[in-house]
Amino acid sequence: MNQFFIQSAFNVLKNGLQVKENEQVLIVADDQQQSSLVDAFVTAGSLLGAKVGKLVYPAVPQQNKEPMGFVGESLKAVEAAVVLPKVSITHVEAIRQARKHGTRFLVCSGLDERMMTGAVNADYQKMSQLTNRFVQLFEAADQVRVTCPNGTDVTFSVRGRATMAVDGICTEAGAWNFAPAGTTATAPLEGTTNGTIVFDGSLAPFGVVDEPVRLTVKDGLIREIAGGRTAADFAELLQSYEDPNVYNIAEMGIGTNEKAELSGKLIEDERILGAFHFGIGKSLNIGGEVDAPFHTDGMIMKPSVYVDGKLVVEAGKILYGE
């Protein structure tokens, strides 16, 4: 087994999930994930003195589809869990309900061995400080505007909404965080998002877009999708749910991890320093009020971001805090 992966997993469990001796910890993955990665986390948890179990389940057919029932029941039965499937289940009810039971989570959906040598090993203190500065900024804000030469020009309100610091640190019962870390997560107020969003980085579950995906948004909902093959496939996917809530603008955040690179996997792409992501569909897990059978995210690579009229990110360069 690769000792470097074990060391990286050890650091994540010790400093992020903060696993304790004799604590019950479950490592959960689907049958498409690399077994060497799963076993590295199992070994790392054992080295920390935890009582570690491993659960491998059949991969869900689409991201954020509910896994088999035994997954959710198992997650409720432990104190802490690491979720690292290849096909994301980040926004499923199984995790939401287990959190209500007190299980704390480190979510690593889509994590691969390459990320263990890069984004996972960022300077966590520096990243956490920057991430939490943006949390404070957004939690005190009302209006946010995002623009980009790619055609993005969209405004929305975050007034009164809590903002999550995705800094990898997860200590309290029922809390969750992520690895790799390095972004914020906020649900815009329902019905307030208006304008144009253009994803020019990646869009899950399709990976890096073939050409920019243009969304026309009015009163919080996507009204039109345009672009190339990725756009057509995305429109078809949303239509297949036959539920208007999948068109909801559910989430927004700014990347704060200087080691993250565009990979086509949202677990890393959302962390890219200065990049901006929008989530679509279900927002219940991130403080919003919209339930939907689907959640996904897309990336704007070089945005300019205005918070209550103040420019805080310019063409992907972070100005806030300088």
What pLDDT, on a 0 to 100 scale, did the predictor assign at position 117?
Answer: 83
What distance in Å separates the CA atoms of residue 124 and residue 122, rounded to the nearest whole number?
Answer: 6
Beta-bridge partners for 281: 295
Q: In the chain, which stretches have pLDDT less than 70?
A: 1, 321-322
Which pair of tokens denotes residue 51?
A: 């009582």
Q: In what order do the strands lie in the sheet with 176-178?
A: 51-57, 24-30, 80-83, 104-107, 176-178
Q: What pTM value is reported for the model?
A: 0.84
What pLDDT, on a 0 to 100 scale, did the predictor assign at position 125?
Answer: 82
Burial class of residue 280, CB neighbours in 10 A (0-12, 13-18, 19+): buried
What distance in Å separates the CA atoms of residue 169 and residue 128, rounded to the nearest whole number?
Answer: 9
What pLDDT, on a 0 to 100 scale, did the predictor assign at position 143?
Answer: 98
What pLDDT, on a 0 to 100 scale, did the predictor assign at position 24?
Answer: 98
Q: What phi and psi values does residue 13 have, to the nearest 5 degrees?
A: -70, -35
